[in-house]
Amino acid sequence: MINADEINQLKAILDKERVSAGESVRELHSHDESYHMHMPPDIVVWPHTTEEVSRLVEWAYEKHIPVTPWGAGTSLEGNPIPVKGGMLINFQEMDKIIAIRQQDFQVDLQAGVIYKEMNKILGHHGLFFPPDPGAAATIGGMIGNNASGIRTVKYGATKDYVMRLTVVLPGGRIIHTGNRARKSSSGYNLVSLFVGSEGTLGFITEATLGLIGLPVNFMAVRATFHSVLNATDTVFQIMNSGLSPAAMEFLDEKVIKALNKDHNLSLEEMPTLLMEFHGFSGDGLREEMALVEEICRENKLLSIDKGIGQTERSRLWEMRHLTFESIKRSHPGLLPLIMDVAVPLSCYSEMAGYAKEQTKDLLAYVFGHAGDGNIHAVVLDNPHDKDRWSRVEEANRKIVYKALEFGGTCTGEHGVGIGKRAFLPQEHGEALELMKTIKQSIDPEGLMNPGKFFL
């Protein structure tokens, strides 16, 4: 799709070191962490500034060449796969923190900043960015997918912290939307339009994020239960009690077994909750822990480990973040289909039970961000075996439709990408047509991250 003369034109926009059509580079950018088919771009480019991104997108639109944004490639639904080839813009070299505004609890930065690295720097200022998807994602990717993670139950998702954006629109026009004030009722909320749009409407190059002060005191808890129902009922009762956990994670017995094997641990292989609470005083946290333990015991608690220290706390959360990797390493040669439904909290126990039932005859692991109703079921199999994979896809369909029946969503945090496109008509109904109208209005040529959202 891109010839030698056009490659030279791109090198004139950037330089020859930041433009590559090499086979290995193209293959590296042909897939994310999902099972979806590898589809390489024709060329990969690495801009350093918004102005360079603008020139690249303008060039692509003039040539009618599809263009796809790439953050770190850690997504799980095929979100950055260049399904129509063309040009892929890798944002990883746009990795500058422009300004830390400590008194305003804000940071200005480029889209390629890795959030984990950013939080290390912010920690020296007593600040942090709460959304925590676990993988080493870029801020641009997190905004594009509206990522969340383990702390969503207390602090919210990425959308709750995006204050201002710089966006390159189709054709190369640059716009700035939002502001640094804590509230505004000025016009359409264009910031929210771009958050979660996965680059289908424009490419985010810079952002201003709101931040939170680092918690002074914390307490981590690991609790095991006789059954999945005991564990998931505990989630609802803790939330209903008025307690405010910073994190509340559910892991089934198979997940614990995989973690034990992968990390040489000796955790009880039973349904487990990992919880964390933040507070101003140790005494207040101890009072909360007494109530947490009481609720757990009412739900047939097997064991509880309270007051976990900093070292063990960090180890547990790092282990939780690596759950997906541990599962994959346990089954070399198989690929995962990852379900990402979210439901109202009152339906969580039933939804978790339904997911376990629908995957009982498959190689499946069930876990999730229990405090905000998010369930992940990871099923591993061979996508090239059509009969076997059809069983996996059927379980996925049933679980998604059950979540929608509960008033939930087909994707709580992984985005639509390729994998969830088929479920959008059922979830959004007539509203999906309005989404298509917005896409057509902003990107009439359909060149911005094509093949995502809409079938």
Q: Which helix (H) or strand (E) holds 168?
A: strand 162-168
3-state secondary structure of 310: helix
Residue 242, number of CB atoms within 10 A of its CB? 8
Encode the chain (455 residues) as per-residue pLDDT tens digits. 799 999 999 999 999 999 999 999 999 999 999 999 999 999 999 999 999 999 999 999 999 999 999 999 999 999 999 999 999 999 999 999 999 999 999 999 999 999 999 999 999 999 999 999 988 999 999 999 999 999 999 999 999 999 999 999 999 999 999 999 999 999 999 999 999 999 999 999 999 999 999 988 888 899 999 999 999 999 999 999 989 899 999 999 999 999 999 999 899 999 999 999 998 888 888 889 999 999 999 999 999 988 777 777 787 788 888 899 999 999 999 999 999 999 999 999 999 999 999 999 999 999 999 999 999 999 999 999 999 999 999 999 999 999 999 999 999 999 999 999 999 999 999 999 999 999 999 999 999 999 999 98
Domains 217-323 and 331-427 fall in the same CATH topology: yes
What pLDDT does residue 337 have? 96
Cβ distance 296 to 304 under 8 Å?
Answer: yes
3-state secondary structure of 97: strand
Contacts of 424 (CB under 8 A, 6+ apart): 410, 416, 432, 435, 453, 454
Q: Where are the domains of the chain?
A: 1-214, 217-323, 331-427
CATH fold for the domain made of 217-323:
Alpha-Beta Plaits (3.30.70)
CATH fold for the domain made of 331-427:
Alpha-Beta Plaits (3.30.70)
* Calpha distance 430→292 (Å, rounded): 43
Domain 1-214 of CATH type 3.30.70.20: no
Q: Would you tell me the crossing angle of helices 50-63 and 4-13 to the nearest 10 degrees?
A: 160
What pLDDT does residue 316 have? 79
Q: Enter the tokens of residue 317.
A: 């959360």
pTM of this structure: 0.95
Q: Which residue has the tokens 């870029």?
A: 138
What pLDDT does residue 427 have? 98
What pLDDT does residue 355 have? 98
DSSP 8-state class, residue 158: G
Cβ distance 95 to 113 under 8 Å?
Answer: yes
Which residue pairs from 451-454 have beta carbons closer than 8 angstroms and sit at least 24 positions apart in sequence?
A: 451/81, 451/83, 451/84, 451/418, 452/78, 452/79, 452/83, 452/198, 452/199, 452/200, 452/416, 452/417, 452/418, 452/421, 453/198, 453/200, 453/416, 453/421, 453/424, 454/421, 454/424
127-128/212-213 β-pairing: antiparallel
